[in-house]
């Protein structure tokens, strides 16, 4: 074989090999690509990094991605078990909010994920703190810090007392990017069992009536009731949006035996249910 | 699109090669009348009551056509009591589709009389030469090629009407040489609000428009001619008193290139092939209305690319015509609403979600002359029609109503008609029968919350509609004896899968104040019948009277009357005309609309009658000619509206007009 064939092959081999070693470290660093950092929770050993798509916490459903950095080695932890506790400190009392477990992100080495539903916020974003407990190789650690939660522009979460004297939290989890057409509406329903515990409520039902108050409060056709999906632990239904703009999703919460716990049907005289969510696109 | 272009090239080449082969058949000299046409109105021949009347005015004078009025501009033609969707309106064989979801821009509004040579009207299936239709076809024909070396001819037209302070000005230039001709014209029209009878001003009835056209031709050889035409039409500030919105812009650019081959000694005696493109922009707005529940903009666009190639030939006693045509149309319309709460985002939707229509079809007609008196004509059209929803958003929005639909929908459309004609010295008779199909229009198939102020419902299109089909029969007879003439014509349509809106109680109206939502659906059938009787008597060469009465009937299989069916109508005229002067007194009216369709949003329209008078003078000024037309319409200043007036807006009260044409040779 002539030299002029060998040399390019050698170069290609050299480049691809050198590139592939670079890529290995890049993959780890780039696992949060496309996400924005919200905040770090730091203790002496680790930095717990919090990410989501907007880089900030707002009231309502917040999908959160977590990464733990070993402060000594600057490496990211791949195996850990985590749990968290958001807390709102109010003048006379404190309470938590609905949240998920934290699980390893599918197909990622260093990422963990879960969601928190902040049901309220102070105007300046103060009051909330977040404590993350995690265990690495049998050793437990804690990171804790105040966080800033801003009021979302539209009501995507509602906290209310049902006629059964139980306090509930309802939050919109999807669609993230509503479209003209039929959207998959996902809503979480939680019960305030105590100040600190908000378990998922199963097998209730919500009726859905989206309306546009900006235009005669007209509705849209072929919406379906929100039915509990045991796999996702959410309530799902079809939300049809006939145009862009501001929509009020009027809801009525029914318990397993069909009794209305909150919300009313929309009529001429009663244009809006007392239980509703909002969206604009 | 590629296929279309290939097809065009194939047709051009094939046609030209084919046309070169001469055919040795004995030519038949029998001249056949255009029996398929109920009327051919020659335009701009200075024989009309107003030389500067709009196309709409001209069409309204035709027996079979009535104009549906939403204002003083852009009237919608209806034939055999059927309007836009059921008619095939073309400009010189070119398909062109309005860009307004509310039918505020019928095709007839994008041309002006100055552009046209004549309007060819075919009732029912006899109007299917250029496309599929149920009610009939209207072809607005452009100026013909003329290589008659007449040199330059200029004419200036001026018009003024007192009602609405309506001013018109036009300029026409025509050059005709041995190998080259050029026709250029421009016309400007502007009217303020008109007054209905008894000086009642009709607000938002103003309009302003101009139209320019350039038509030119070049004779390549004795047999081949190449022509090009461009029409630009722009209307601004058009009010629609019957609707909740006006139009700030209606703009059309219509272009075409035509190749014509004419040779009497070849098998194909004429072959005409045209490539065309037209684009329409239509902007509805309500910024001039002081009081609306919500501000909105509703722009729409319609672009059409197409071709046709038509040949005519004679074999023995057969006169054959073949027309191969195709088009591709893109219709897009959107609506943006601005909430009264400025913090809320604008609301947006596609009302015509970018619908692409591809059509290609072939038409063939044979006229067989048994002898000088008797002839039989048969015509057939078969076509492939495809609709596609090009915007993903559009498809998804329609899937709210029809989850199963896909983006495309294919149809095969067919049409068949036959006509037998018999002529004798004192009378002539013709019988016709036909079958036709049409695809739903863009609004009927894909419209999304289109508000119809006629019945106060929002309309949703239905992509699953079947083709609408019609069986028709018609009969015509004329009798002449000395100076007396009596004519009768009638036609009957049995329409199956008749497309009309049907209330869906489950849907809530989007438009503020609307009564609900109607979804286009098909009634199993509908019947439309009409009959006209006309007669005239000539007292002398210059003095004559004529009269027409008409009866129309329409009912649907659900037992309801069809909407927009003309009540009993009459027209009587006394005419005096000499070479240099003419005068006419006209009485025109309708009886009470007793069979109105309450179910489809109509109310009863009262009977009316109006009196018009018109005069015409023609005189020479040096070598030039002056034509003066003047008259009074609605002399008695009656305040009236007809069944064809949208939401009963009243028609014009007394109107004095003067039209003057100055022709410089």
Q: What is the pLDDT of residues B464-483, one digit of tens each?
A: 999 999 999 999 999 999 89
User: Do B508 and A220 lie within an 8 Å CB cutoff?
Assistant: yes
Domain assignment present for B599: yes
> In DSSP terms, which residues pair with B323 in a beta bridge?
B310, B363
Specify whether A53 is located in the same domain as A133. yes
Q: pLDDT confidence of B2, banded at 50, 70, 90?
A: very low
Domain assignment present for A16: no
Residue B166 in contact with residue B468, Cβ under 8 Å? no
Size of the A and B interface in Cβ pairs below 8 Å: 88
Domain assignment present for B414: yes
User: Do B396 and A221 lie within an 8 Å CB cutoff?
Assistant: no
Q: Is B403 on the interface with A (CB under 8 A)?
A: yes
Closest-CA residue to A245 (of B208, B510, B153, B276): B510
Q: pLDDT confidence of B18, banded at 50, 70, 90?
A: very low
Task: Read off the pLDDT of each residue in A244-262 and give the average, rounded to a whole number.
Answer: 95
Domain assignment present for A118: yes
Specify whether A139 is located in the same domain as A169. no
Specify whether A205 is located in the same domain as A261. yes
Domain assignment present for B131: no
Q: What is the pLDDT of residues B77-126, one digit of tens each?
A: 999 999 999 999 999 999 999 999 999 999 999 998 888 888 888 999 99
B98 Cα to chain A: minimum distance (Å)? 24
Task: Read off the pLDDT of each residue in B414-437 and give the average, rounded to a whole number.
Answer: 95
Task: Read off the pLDDT of each residue in A242-264 and give the average, rounded to a whole number.
Answer: 95
Determine the pLDDT at residue A70.
93
Residue B34: pLDDT above 70? no
Task: Read off the pLDDT of each residue in B436-463 and give the average, rounded to a whole number.
Answer: 95
Task: Read off the pLDDT of each residue in A100-118 and give the average, rounded to a whole number.
Answer: 94
Q: Which residue in B346, B395, B396 is closest to A245 by CB distance? A: B346
Domain that holds residue B255: 2-35+150-664
Residue B193: pLDDT above 90? yes
In angstroms, the CA A223 to CA A266 distance is 14
A254 or B60, which is more confident: A254
Domain assignment present for A47: yes
Q: Is A182 on the interface with B (CB under 8 A)?
A: yes
Q: Is B294 on the interface with A (CB under 8 A)?
A: yes
A220-234, B29-43, B325-339, B603-617: least confident range: B29-43
Mean pLDDT rounded to a whole number for chain B: 89
Determine whether B318 is exposed, middle or buried from the number of CB atoms within 10 Å of its CB (0-12, 13-18, 19+): middle
Task: Read off the pLDDT of each residue in B243-250 and give the average, rounded to a whole number.
Answer: 94
Chain B residue closest to A213 (CA)?
B339
Residue B619: pLDDT above 50? yes
- Which among A100, A133, A150 is the end of a domain? A150
Residue A161: pLDDT above 90? yes
Domain assignment present for B580: yes
Residue B16: pLDDT above 60? no
Q: Domain tally for chain B? A: 1
Residue B219: pLDDT above 80? yes
Residue A117 in contact with residue A99, Cβ under 8 Å? yes
Residue B320: pLDDT above 80? yes
Domain assignment present for A23: no
B58 or B426, which is more confident: B426
ipTM of the predicted assembly exceeds 0.90: no
Q: Which residues, at least 6 apart from B574, have a Cβ–Cβ distance to it below 8 Å?
A: B544, B545, B584, B585
Domain assignment present for A188: yes
Specify whether A77 is located in the same domain as A96. yes
A106-110, A214-218, B60-64: least confident range: B60-64
E-assigned strand segments in B286-395:
295-315, 318-338, 347-369, 374-389
Q: Write out chain A residues lying below 8 Å of B400, CB-based.
A: 181-182, 220-222, 240, 242
Domain assignment present for B125: no
- Which among A120, A150, A180 is the end of a domain? A150
Specify whether A79 is located in the same domain as A96. yes
> Which strand (E) or helix (H) includes residue B249?
strand B246-262
Specify whether A204 is located in the same domain as A132. no
Residue B339 in contact with residue A245, Cβ under 8 Å? yes
> Which strand (E) or helix (H) includes residue A10?
helix A3-29
User: Do A215 and B399 lie within an 8 Å CB cutoff?
Assistant: no
Q: pLDDT confidence of A23, banded at 50, 70, 90?
A: very low
Domain that holds residue A37: 32-150
Q: Which residue in B345, B348, B393 is closest to A181 by CB distance? A: B393
Task: Read off the pLDDT of each residue in B286-302 and give the average, rounded to a whole number.
Answer: 92
Q: Write out chain B residues lying below 8 Å of A216, CB-based.
A: 293-294, 509-513
Residue whose token pair is 């050993």: A45
Q: Domain tally for chain A? A: 2
Domain assignment present for A244: yes
Domain assignment present for A207: yes
Q: What is the pLDDT of residues A215-236, one digit of tens each?
A: 889 999 999 999 999 999 999 9
- Which among A86, A120, A150 is the end of a domain? A150
Residue B25: pLDDT above 60? no
* CATH number for B643: 2.40.170.20
Q: What is the pLDDT of residues B362-405, one digit of tens each?
A: 999 999 999 989 999 999 999 999 999 999 999 999 999 999 99
What pTM does this model have? 0.86
Specify whether A188 is located in the same domain as A169. yes
Chain A residue closest to B403 (CA)?
A182
B150-153 long-range Cβ contacts below 8 angstroms, 24+ apart: B150/B174, B150/B176, B151/B175, B151/B176, B151/B177, B153/B663, B153/B664, B153/B665
In angstroms, the CA B196 to CA B655 distance is 10
Residue B80 in contact with residue B124, Cβ under 8 Å? yes
* CATH number for A257: 2.60.40
Q: pLDDT confidence of A269, banded at 50, 70, 90?
A: very high
Domain assignment present for A5: no
Specify whether A164 is located in the same domain as A263. yes
């Amino acid at each position: 074989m002539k030299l002029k064939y060998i040399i390019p092959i050698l170069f290609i081999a050299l480049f691809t090999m050198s590139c592939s070693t670079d890529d290995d470290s890049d993959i780890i660093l780039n696992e949060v690509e496309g996400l924005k950092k919200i905040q770090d929770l730091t203790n002496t050993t680790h930095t717990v990094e919090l990410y989501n798509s907007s880089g900030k916490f707002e009231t309502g459903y917040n999908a959160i991605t977590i990464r733990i950095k070993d402060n000594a080695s600057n490496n990211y932890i791949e195996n850990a078990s985590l749990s968290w506790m958001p807390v709102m400190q109010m003048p006379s009392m404190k309470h938590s909010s609905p949240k998920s477990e934290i699980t390893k992100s599918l197909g990622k080495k260093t990422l963990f994920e879960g969601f928190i539903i902040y049901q309220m916020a102070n105007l300046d974003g103060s009051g909330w703190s977040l404590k993350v407990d995690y265990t690495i190789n049998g050793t437990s650690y804690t990171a804790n810090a105040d966080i800033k939660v801003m009021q979302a522009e539209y009501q995507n979460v509602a906290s209310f007392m049902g006629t059964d004297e139980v306090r509930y939290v309802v939050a919109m989890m999807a669609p993230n990017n509503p479209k003209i057409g039929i959207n998959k509406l996902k809503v979480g329903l939680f019960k305030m069992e105590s100040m600190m515990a908000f378990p998922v409520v199963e097998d209730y039902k919500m009726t859905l009536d989206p309306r546009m108050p900006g235009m005669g409060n007209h509705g849209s056709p072929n919406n379906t009731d929100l039915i509990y999906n045991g796999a996702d632990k959410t309530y799902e239904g079809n939300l049809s949006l006939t145009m862009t703009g501001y929509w009020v999703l009027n809801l009525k919460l029914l318990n397993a035996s069909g009794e209305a716990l909150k919300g009313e049907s929309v009529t001429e005289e009663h244009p809006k249910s007392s239980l509703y969510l909002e969206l604009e696109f | 699109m590629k296929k279309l272009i290939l097809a065009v090239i194939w047709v051009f080449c094939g046609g030209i090669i084919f046309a070169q082969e001469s055919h040795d058949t004995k030519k038949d000299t029998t001249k056949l009348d255009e029996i398929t046409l109920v009327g051919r109105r020659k335009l701009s021949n200075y024989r009309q009551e107003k030389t500067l009347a709009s196309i709409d005015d001209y069409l309204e004078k035709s027996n079979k056509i009535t104009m549906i009025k939403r204002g003083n501009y852009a009237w919608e033609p209806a034939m055999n009591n059927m309007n836009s969707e059921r008619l095939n309106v073309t400009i010189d064989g070119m398909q062109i589709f309005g860009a307004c979801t509310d039918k505020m821009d019928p095709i007839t509004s994008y041309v002006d009389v100055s552009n046209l040579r004549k309007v060819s009207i075919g009732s029912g299936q006899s109007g299917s030469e250029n496309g599929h239709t149920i009610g009939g076809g209207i072809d607005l024909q452009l100026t013909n090629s003329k290589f008659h070396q007449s040199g330059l001819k200029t004419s200036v037209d001026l018009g003024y009407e007192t009602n609405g302070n309506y001013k018109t000005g036009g300029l026409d230039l025509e050059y005709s040489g041995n190998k080259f001709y050029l026709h250029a014209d421009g016309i400007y029209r502007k009217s303020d609000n008109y007054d209905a009878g008894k000086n009642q001003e009709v607000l938002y009835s103003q309009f302003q428009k101009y139209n320019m056209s350039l038509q030119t031709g070049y004779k390549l050889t004795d047999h081949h001619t190449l022509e090009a035409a461009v029409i630009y039409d722009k209307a601004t500030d058009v009010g629609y008193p019957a609707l909740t919105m006006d139009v700030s812009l209606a703009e059309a650019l219509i272009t075409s290139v035509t190749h014509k081959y004419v040779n009497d000694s070849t098998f194909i005696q004429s072959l005409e092939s045209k490539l065309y493109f037209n684009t329409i922009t239509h902007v509805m707005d309500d910024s001039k209305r002081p009081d609306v529940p919500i501000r909105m903009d509703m722009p729409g666009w319609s672009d059409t690319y197409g071709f046709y190639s038509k040949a005519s030939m004679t074999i023995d006693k057969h006169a054959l015509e073949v027309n191969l045509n195709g088009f591709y149309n893109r219709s897009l319309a959107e609506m943006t609403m601005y909430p009264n709460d400025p913090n809320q985002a604008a609301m947006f939707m596609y009302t015509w979600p970018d619908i692409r229509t591809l059509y290609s079809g072939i038409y063939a007609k044979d006229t067989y002359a048994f002898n000088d008196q008797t002839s039989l004509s048969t015509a057939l059209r078969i076509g492939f029609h495809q609709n596609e929803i090009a915007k993903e958003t559009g498809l998804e929005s329609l899937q709210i109503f029809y989850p199963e639909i896909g983006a495309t929908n294919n149809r095969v459309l067919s049409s068949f008609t036959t006509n037998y004609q018999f002529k004798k010295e004192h009378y002539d008779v013709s019988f016709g029968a036909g079958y036709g199909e049409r695809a739903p229009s863009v609004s009927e198939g894909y419209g999304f919350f289109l508000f119809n102020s006629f019945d106060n419902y929002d309309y949703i299109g239905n992509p699953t509609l079947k083709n609408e089909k019609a069986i028709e029969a018609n009969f015509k007879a004329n009798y002449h004896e000395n100076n007396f003439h009596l004519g009768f014509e009638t036609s009957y349509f049995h329409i199956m899968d008749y497309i009309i809106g049907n209330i869906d109680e489950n849907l809530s109206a989007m438009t503020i104040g609307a009564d609900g939502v109607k979804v286009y659906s098909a009634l199993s059938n509908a019947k439309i019948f009409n009959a006209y009787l006309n007669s005239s008597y000539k007292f002398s060469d210059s003095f004559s009277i004529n009269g027409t009465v008409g009866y129309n009937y329409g009912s649907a299989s659900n037992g309801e009357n069809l909407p927009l069916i003309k009540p009993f109508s009459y027209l009587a005229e006394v005419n005096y005309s000499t070479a240099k002067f003419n005068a006419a007194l006209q009485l025109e009216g309708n009886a009470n609309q007793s069979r109105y369709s309450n179910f489809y949003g109509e109310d009863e329209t009262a009977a009316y009658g109006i009196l018009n008078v018109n005069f015409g003078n023609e005189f020479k000024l040096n070598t030039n000619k002056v034509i003066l037309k003047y008259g009074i319409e609605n002399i008695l200043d009656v305040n009236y509206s007809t069944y064809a007036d949208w939401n009963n807006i009243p028609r014009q009260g007394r109107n004095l007009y003067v039209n003057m044409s100055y022709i410089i040779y």
